């Protein structure tokens, strides 16, 4: 099987997949959970429970509001203690339903049997509605509601479903283990997504550093019509949507356009598994695999964790914070964000918790740009990061827009390669958000 990849830029940071051989372990349910009502892109869900209410695992506790939003369900059984604000992973206060855990009772509609259900008699519209009711969102990090992604606007057409199984971020292995241990469930999920989109072709793109998962997927997929496995070269950011589409289909998503504009829909591997559970087992999205990792951590692991579980409890389960701890990152080291504290809770999009020591986190003092153009050579979007940084520093927003700053996928390859240790991504990210705000205001006039 030949290895394919995207043509522009890219880097190969140390992989550090220290948990890749560790099976998924189910983490004990905590005494109390705080389930955020905003675990997705779009409007927060509206709470439909109150203090004192009894809930089961799978009970709807927050209703989606607006077109881009998602339902929220209880991940535990117990009593609602309060509805209050708690910090999210970025430290911002967000509304959450706090539930005291009592037992582990599930909604009767949830099918907890281990039986694999392959056949799905539902129509495409019924599948999409079921995914919507189950609160399924993109589990790769963006949290975009999946049912919206599957609703193809009039005048558009899709011919290829791409499953993003690249997991190109260093350290993270949650998708790898899911691909290996839940292979059949995931493939049924892919088949269901194909039916929802009415397409004949699905491609699972997976990096070559997961040979065991590639072998198992390739062998098992023979029983599933219209599902191909594509081995991708191990290169970061292989899992970025536009880079994955280019690698798998050769199609290039134009600047400012969406995968839909080139006939593709991209769904994360974990999301495909969640779709199987939602459609075939009536289980809403109430838990996920989280890689808890770090070189100094006593018990790194791939854990199946209920949403709303405090990050502090997850870290304690993995052996607690080591000495000389410097940063705890939500996600991977390239695109993840440092958490201000451990008071936040696990959400539908928490793919990993990375613990980094002070020695590992040292960032050299930035010096002046030396015009080496290394940042240009690694940018997968063909941008000029050194220039975008300067335009941001000087608030030259018109010029930044002209130079396509909003095309930046925030992969951080430029910062990683910069010999002058320039904080390129930090500055470009600020410039990008500012230009996007300007564009939104201009469109609203």
**Annotated binding-site members for [4Fe-4S] cluster:** 369, 372, 375, 379, 408, 411, 414, 418
Q: Residues with Cβ < 8 Å from 82, sequence gap 6 or more?
A: 51, 98
Tokens of 202: 């699905």
Q: Please give the Cα distance from 243 to 236 (Å, whole number).
A: 10
Q: Please give the Cα distance from 210 to 204 (Å, whole number).
A: 13
Cα 117 from chain centre: 26
Binding site, by residue number, is: 369, 372, 375, 379, 408, 411, 414, 418
**Which residues share a beta bridge with 178?**
none
- Ranges of H-type helices in 221-379: 241-249, 269-281, 311-317, 358-361, 374-378
Place of tokens 């927060």: 44
Q: Please give the Cα distance from 52 to 227 (Å, whole number).
A: 48
Q: Residues with Cβ < 8 Å from 39, sequence gap 6 or more?
A: 70, 72, 137, 143, 307, 347, 348, 349
Question: Rounded to 5, what percent of the chain is helix, strand, coil?
Answer: 30, 20, 45
For 144-175, give the secondary structure using H, E and C.
CEHHHHHCCCCCCCCCEEEEEECCCCCCCCHH
Q: Residues with Cβ < 8 Å from 388, sequence gap 6 or more?
A: 400, 403, 405, 408, 424, 427, 428, 431
**Which residues share a beta bridge with 47?**
62
């Amino acid at each position: 099987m030949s290895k394919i990849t995207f043509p522009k830029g890219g880097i190969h940071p140390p992989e550090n997949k220290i948990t890749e051989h560790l099976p998924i372990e189910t983490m004990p349910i905590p005494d109390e959970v705080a389930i955020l009502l905003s675990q997705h892109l779009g409007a927060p869900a509206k709470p439909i429970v109150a203090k004192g209410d009894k809930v089961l695992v799978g009970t709807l506790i927050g209703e989606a509001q607006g077109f881009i939003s998602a339902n929220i369900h209880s991940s535990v059984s117990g009593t609602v203690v309060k509805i209050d604000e708690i910090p999210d992973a970025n430290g911002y206060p967000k509304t959450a339903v706090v539930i005291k855990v009592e037992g582990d009772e599930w909604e009767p509609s949830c099918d907890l049997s281990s039986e694999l259900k392959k056949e799905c008699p539902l129509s495409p519209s019924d599948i999409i509605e079921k995914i919507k009711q189950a609160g399924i969102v993109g589990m790769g990090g963006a949290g975009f509601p999946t049912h919206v992604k599957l609703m193809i606007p009039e005048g558009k057409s899709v011919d290829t479903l791409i499953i993003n199984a690249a997991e190109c971020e260093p350290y993270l292995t949650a998708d790898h283990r899911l691909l290996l241990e839940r292979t059949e469930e995931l493939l049924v999920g892919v088949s269901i997504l194909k039916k929802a989109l009415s397409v004949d072709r699905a491609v699972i793109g997976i990096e070559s550093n997961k040979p065991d998962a590639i072998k198992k997927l390739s062998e098992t997929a023979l029983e599933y019509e219209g599902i191909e496995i594509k081995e991708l070269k191990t290169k970061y950011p292989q899992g970025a949507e536009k880079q994955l589409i280019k690698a798998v289909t050769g199609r290039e998503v134009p600047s400012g356009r969406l995968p839909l504009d080139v006939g593709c829909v991209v769904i994360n591997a974990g999301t495909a598994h969640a779709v199987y559970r939602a459609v075939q087992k009536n289980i809403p999205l109430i838990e996920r695999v989280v890689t808890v990792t770090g070189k100094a951590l006593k018990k790194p692991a791939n854990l199946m964790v209920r949403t709303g579980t405090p990050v502090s409890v997850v870290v304690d389960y993995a052996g607690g914070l080591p000495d000389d701890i410097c940063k705890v990152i939500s996600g991977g080291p390239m695109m993840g964000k440092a958490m201000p504290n451990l008071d936040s809770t696990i959400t539908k999009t928490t793919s990993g918790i990375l613990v980094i020591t002070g020695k590992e986190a040292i960032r050299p003092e930035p010096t002046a740009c030396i015009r080496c153009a290394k940042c240009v050579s690694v940018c997968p979007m063909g941008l000029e990061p050194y220039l975008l940084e300067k335009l941001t520093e000087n608030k030259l927003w018109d010029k930044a827009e002209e130079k396509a700053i909003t095309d930046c996928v925030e992969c951080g390859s430029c910062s990683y390669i910069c010999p002058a240790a320039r904080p390129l991504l930090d500055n470009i990210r600020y410039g990008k958000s500012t230009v996007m705000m300007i564009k939104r205001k201009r469109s609203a006039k």
